[in-house]
C-alpha cells in the first residue's frame, strides 16, 4: 500500500487523509534555474572531459558553443517543464511510479531579446485527456511527455510547430530536484515575513520559521515554498515559489556558480533529476546564450480560472477563464521587448563617493544596522547627511532612492554596499530652494544587510 502526495485532489480512486499530505514537493521546481544553469553545468563537465582539464572556465573557452538560432532554426522556442508527483512506498520511501505532473510550466526562450516568459498551468485544471474530461495533470500518467504535449498544448491554445507538436522541447524533473539544487549552491538567505508553524507527519512537512532573514537548506526552502495554510492559501504559496526561484537565480548569477566550488554537485543534481529531449549542444547553446540574463526580463504568470466543478473521475477541478487564458497566450506568443539594460560598470565606477550626499534610514527592525551601514559608506568616502529610522521596520531588502542630481549615484552606492537584491529607484528632486543641501541618495536598510555582517544586532530601531 502506498500513499500519494496530492494537492486538493480527492479522487474517488485515491483518497487521502484530511491532513496536509496533499502538499506537492515538486510543485516548486526551479524550472528557469535548471534550464539556464543546471544544464550549463552539464555542458561544462562534458567540455572538461574533452579537454582533459579541471578548470571549468578553460573548458568552456576551449569548446565551441553554437548559437541557439543555428541549432533550432528559429528565434524563439517553447519548452515544457514537468515536475513529477510521487508516492510513499510501504517502506516509507518516495517513488515516482505511475506519476502525474504536480508541476506544469511552459517557458518561451526568445533569443534576440534574451527575454524569458513562463506560463504555469494549475495541475487541477479541467481538460480533455485521451478523449475524456479529467485533471490536466493526468496526461503524463497516460502517456508521458508526448501525451502531455498534446493535452497541455491544445488546452493552452498554442500554435503547432513545424513538427506537428506544440512545444519544441521538454524537461521532466524527478523527485528532490529543487532541494538538491539549493543544497548544491550552499542554501539560500530568504526574507521571511510571518511566523510559520506547521507539522504534517504523513506528508513529511515540518515548517517552523520566524520573521527575519533566514538561511535555508534545500529541504527548508522547499518546505517553506510548500506551505499554503495562511490567509491567502495557494496565491501566497505561488508567491513563495517565485521568491525562491528568483533568489536562486540571483545567487547563481552573483556568486558565479558559488565561485565554481559546488559545480560537481550541480552536475550530479542535473544527471539524477532531469529527463529531457534536448541534445548536449542545445543545452550548451541555451545556457551560454542566457548566462547573463537580466532578472527584469524573466516574466511569470499562470492560466487563470473562473470557477470549479465536480467530475466523477477525479473530484473537484478548476474551470479555465477562457478570455483570460487567451490574453495570457497572446502575450506569451507575441512580440518580446527587453527591459532597459543595466548601466555600464565603467560609468558607475566613475562616480566619486565624495560628491554624493547620503541619508541612511534603518527599516530592518534590527538595532544599529543604520549606523553600521552609514559607517561603511563614510569609510568608502561618501558624505553622510543623516542617519535615522525609516517609515517602518518591515523592509526585507535594502532600497536605494536616488535623485537625478548626480547621475548613477544610486548605482554606485548599490555596488559599494554589495547587496545583490538591493533595488535602485529614481525619485524627483524637491522643488524647495533648500534642495541643494538635501541628500542625493537615501538608503533604506533592509534585513538583507544583516546577513552580510559577521553578527547582527538584537531588535528594532536605528
- Cell 515575513 belongs to 193
Percent of the chain residues topping a pLDDT of 90? 29
Domain formed by 3-186+215-333, architecture: 3-Layer(aba) Sandwich (3.40)
Provide the mean pLDDT of the chain. 76
Domain with CATH 3.30.70.2390 in the chain: 345-451
Contact between 356 and 383 (Cβ < 8 Å): yes
Query: 23 vs 46, 190, 193, 226, 234, CA distance in Å?
Result: 36, 20, 21, 6, 11
Q: Which residue has the cell 510501504?
A: 90
Say what the pTM is: 0.60
Where is 8: in which H helix or E strand?
Answer: none
- Backbone angles phi and psi of 443, in degrees to 5: -105, 120
Question: What pLDDT is recorded for position 372?
Answer: 94
| Position 150 pLDDT exceeds 70 | yes
Q: How confident is the model at residue 204 (pLDDT cuts 50, 70, 90)?
A: low
Mean pLDDT in residue range 340-362? 88
Say what the pLDDT of residue 267 is.
63
**Domain span(s) for CATH 3.40.630.190 in the chain:** 3-186+215-333
Report helix, strand or coil for 11.
Answer: strand
User: Please, which pLDDT band fits residue 36 given cuts at 50, 70 and 90?
Assistant: very low
Residue 221: in which H helix or E strand, if any?
helix 218-226
Select the more confidently predicted residue: 403 or 285: 403
Is the per-residue pLDDT at 321 higher than 90?
Answer: yes
**CA atoms of 98 and 105, how far apart (whole Å):** 20
Q: Is the dihedral of CA 7, 8, 13, 19 positive or negative?
A: positive
Please tell me the distance from the alpha carbon of residue 455 to that of residue 233, in angstroms, as a whole number.
Answer: 34
Handedness of CA 136, 142, 147, 148 (dihedral sign): positive
* Residue in this structure with the C-alpha cell 554589495, named with its chain if needed: 418
Grid cell, residue 164, equals 506537428
Could you report the per-residue pLDDT of 108-148, keeping only the tens digit for each? 999 888 899 989 898 889 999 989 999 998 999 888 899 99
98: left (phi over 0), alpha (psi -120 to 50) or beta: left
- Going by the DSSP 8-state scheme, the letter that residue 434 receives in this structure is G
d(C-alpha 234, C-alpha 315), whole Å: 18
Of the ranges 49-53, 179-183, 439-443, which one carries the lowest mean pLDDT score? 49-53
Using the predicted structure, report yes or no on whether residue 257 has a pLDDT greater than 80: no
What pLDDT is recorded for position 370? Answer: 94
57 pLDDT higher than 50: no
> Comparing 50 with 64, which gets the higher pLDDT?
64
Q: In CATH, what class is 345-451?
A: alpha beta
- Strand positions, DSSP E, 7-97: 76-84, 87-88, 94-95
Query: Does residue 37 register a pLDDT over 80?
Result: no
Which of 108, 31, 35 has its CA nearest to residue 328? 108
From residue 97, give the alpha-carbon distance in Å to each of 89, 93, 140, 162, 268: 10, 12, 12, 33, 22
Amino acid at each position: 500500500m502506498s500513499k500519494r502526495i496530492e494537492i486538493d485532489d480527492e479522487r474517488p480512486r485515491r483518497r487521502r487523509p484530511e491532513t496536509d499530505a496533499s502538499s506537492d514537493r515538486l510543485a516548486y521546481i526551479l524550472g528557469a534555474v535548471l534550464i539556464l544553469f543546471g544544464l550549463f553545468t552539464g555542458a561544462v563537465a562534458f567540455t572538461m572531459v574533452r579537454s582533459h582539464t579541471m578548470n571549468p572556465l578553460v573548458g568552456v573557452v576551449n569548446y565551441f558553443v553554437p548559437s541557439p538560432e543555428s541549432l533550432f532554426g528559429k528565434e524563439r522556442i517553447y519548452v515544457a517543464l514537468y515536475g513529477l508527483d510521487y508516492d510513499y512506498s510501504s517502506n516509507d520511501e518516495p517513488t515516482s511510479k505511475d506519476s502525474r505532473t504536480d508541476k506544469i510550466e511552459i517557458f518561451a526562450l526568445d533569443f534576440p531579446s534574451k527575454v524569458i516568459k513562463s506560463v504555469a498551468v494549475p495541475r487541477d485544471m479541467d481538460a480533455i485527456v485521451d478523449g475524456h474530461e479529467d485533471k490536466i495533470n493526468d496526461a503524463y500518467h497516460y502517456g508521458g511527455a508526448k501525451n502531455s504535449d498534446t493535452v497541455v498544448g491544445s488546452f493552452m491554445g498554442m500554435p503547432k510547430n513545424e513538427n506537428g507538436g506544440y512545444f519544441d522541447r521538454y524537461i521532466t524533473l524527478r523527485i528532490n530536484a529543487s532541494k538538491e539544487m539549493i543544497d548544491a549552491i550552499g542554501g539560500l538567505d530568504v526574507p521571511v515575513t510571518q511566523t510559520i508553524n506547521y507539522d504534517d507527519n504523513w506528508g513529511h512537512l515540518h515548517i517552523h520559521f520566524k520573521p527575519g532573514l533566514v538561511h535555508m537548506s534545500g529541504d527548508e526552502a522547499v518546505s517553506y515554498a510548500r506551505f499554503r495554510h495562511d490567509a491567502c492559501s495557494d496565491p501566497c504559496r505561488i508567491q513563495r515559489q517565485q521568491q525562491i526561484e528568483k533568489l536562486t537565480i540571483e545567487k547563481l548569477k552573483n556568486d558565479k556558480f558559488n565561485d565554481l566550488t559546488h559545480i560537481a554537485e550541480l552536475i550530479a543534481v542535473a544527471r539524477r533529476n532531469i529527463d529531457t529531449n534536448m541534445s548536449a549542444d542545445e543545452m550548451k547553446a541555451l545556457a551560454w546564450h542566457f548566462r547573463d540574463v537580466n532578472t527584469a526580463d524573466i516574466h511569470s504568470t499562470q492560466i487563470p480560472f473562473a470557477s470549479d466543478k465536480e467530475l466523477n473521475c477525479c473530484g473537484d477541478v478548476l474551470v479555465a477563464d477562457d478570455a483570460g487564458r487567451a490574453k495570457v497566450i497572446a502575450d506569451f506568443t507575441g512580440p518580446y521587448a527587453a527591459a532597459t539594460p543595466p548601466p555600464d560598470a565603467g560609468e558607475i565606477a566613475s562616480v566619486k563617493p565624495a560628491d554624493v550626499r547620503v541619508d541612511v534610514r534603518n527599516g530592518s527592525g534590527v538595532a544599529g544596522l543604520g549606523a553600521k551601514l552609514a559607517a561603511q559608506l563614510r569609510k568608502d568616502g561618501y558624505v553622510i547627511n543623516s542617519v535615522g529610522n525609516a517609515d517602518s521596520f518591515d523592509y526585507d531588502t535594502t532600497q536605494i532612492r536616488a535623485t537625478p542630481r548626480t547621475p548613477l549615484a544610486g548605482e554606485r552606492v548599490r555596488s559599494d554596499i554589495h547587496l545583490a537584491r538591493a533595488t535602485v529607484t529614481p525619485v524627483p528632486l524637491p522643488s524647495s530652494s533648500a534642495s541643494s543641501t538635501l541628500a542625493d541618495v537615501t538608503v533604506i536598510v533592509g534585513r538583507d544587510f544583516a546577513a552580510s555582517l559577521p553578527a547582527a544586532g538584537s531588535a528594532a530601531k536605528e
